[in-house]
Amino acid sequence: MGQDNPPSNAESAHYSGSKTTAESQSITDSTIDRNDNTTIRTDAQTTREHIRAEIQTTPQTASELATIVNTARSAVFGHIDHIAQSVNASPDEQFLVAPPTCERCGFDQFDDPLNNPSQCPDCRSERLSEPEFIIKPL
């Protein structure tokens, strides 16, 4: 009477968030069949390692990285901060940031380029490009 029985396999497809075997397979296939230049995350690779591998090849924004590694954009900024610290401690690599730029007036002198500002301090426009991150060997 007071016991909740787990749903059977037929019922589980009706619960939100559950995926059928076919849906899971298609998600896996779409991840493997990527034709762009992004790296594929291995099971042994952490999110931070995957982000680092991505920005060693091409400049990426936080939104792009969030999509690639399947995490929240806000979490990417935390990972980027740690990656920047470790790269700056390394004598053979350099962490570079293309700062955000106001698309209205061109302002790009933001105090913290690792942050994503909400508006331009000069013209108050909210149309800002995202900062881009890359690791270059020295």
In a structure prediction context, what are the per-residue pLDDT tens digits for the chain, which is 138 residues long? 545 444 443 333 333 333 333 433 333 333 333 445 555 656 678 999 999 999 999 999 999 999 999 999 999 999 999 999 999 999 999 999 999 999 999 999 988 878 888 999 999 999 999 999 999 999
Instruction: Tell me the CATH class for 40-137.
Output: mainly alpha
Query: How do the domains of the chain map onto residue ranges?
Result: 40-137
Burial bucket for residue 54 (CB in 10 Å: 0-12, 13-18, 19+): buried
Given a contact cutoff of 8 angstroms between Cβ atoms, the answer to whether 67 and 50 are in contact is no
Could you give the maximum distance between any two Cα atoms of the chain, in Å? 69
